[in-house]
Copies of this chain bind each other. A is one copy, B any other.
Amino acid sequence: MTAGGRPAEPEVIWSRPQRAGRGPRPAHSRESIAAEAVRIADAEGIEAVSMRRVAAGIGAGTMSLYNYVPRKEELYELMVDAVSGEYEFTAPTGDWRADLLALARQTRALMHRHPWLPRLLSPVYGFSPNALRYLEHSLECLAPLDVPDAEKLELVAAVNGTVATYVAGELALAERARALPWSEDEEQGVRTAWLGSRLASGEYPRLAAAVSGTGPVPGAGLDMAAVFDRSVSRLLGAWGA
């Protein structure tokens, strides 16, 4: 082990004790660190989250942060778990499809509050404490569904995948515009113009016909919430009786 007590062995951050027995009491907590990182990401985008920024934000020296978070990757894991704590789980109603749709709506709202979340969501973070609470609650909602447990987990994964992809699409233009020196409208404008010119080439007749009805962009004037509900409901309809 190095002088600073920073291990280079495989570990999961959640199994690390927050407080070791021996030395001075830690001046910070994982919660406050995660909260600061989330604050920065919400305000300025995920690319503004750096070890230096977060450390400064909680009033610590940069390298002190490494006593709490072994790598930046683990900081991301903390962030995802922190916002996963925002779910409000209510008792299952008995209608598992309605319950899962309500959960999916919560996920969508969560991602709109934290637009960096879809990008950061990774299957390897899927076993953080709050992720486990989420899975447990999902299984509780799925109690009335008579399929093997393994398939229930598949169902939850499928729903979450659909939700993540859907909301990523909703947020994509805005997120990209925030990271670049021009506005979302300008971004949308050049993309639409490019697409229009390609479609006018006649190489993609079916696509041209398909987008001629609506705008080609993910949500020009549509009620996104309604489309979202419909997509998730359709997926849920593929399971069970």
Contacts and interface: CB of A to CB of B under 8 A. Distances in A.
A58 interface: no
Q: Can you tell how many copies of this chain the complex includes? A: 2
Contact of A210 (B124, B153, B194): B153
A205 B11 CA distance: 24
A154 interface: yes
Given A150-B210, A164-B165, A214-B150, A124 B235 contact: no
Contact of A169 (B157, B187, B194): B157
Contacts of A189: 10
Contacts of A11: 190
A60 interface: no
B165 A161 contact: yes
Contacts of A152: 210
Contact of A186 (B10, B135, B166): B10
A213 interface: yes
Contacts of A165: 157-158, 160-162, 164-165
Interface string A53-96: 00000000000000000010100000000000000000000000
A209 interface: yes
Interface string A183-227: 000110111011101100001111101110110101000000001
A146 interface: no
Interface of A is mostly: helix
A194 B238 contact: no
| Most central of A123, A179, A205 by chain B CB within 10 Å | A123
A205 B206 CA distance: 50
A157 B164 CA distance: 12
A6 interface: no
Contact of A168 (B12, B123, B150, B198): B123
A218 B154 CA distance: 10
A189 to B, nearest CB: 7
A149 to B, nearest CB: 4
Contact of A132 (B124, B161, B204, B218): B204
A207 B169 contact: no
Interface in A164-184: 164-166, 168-169, 172-173, 176, 179-182
A234 interface: yes
A210 to B, nearest CB: 4
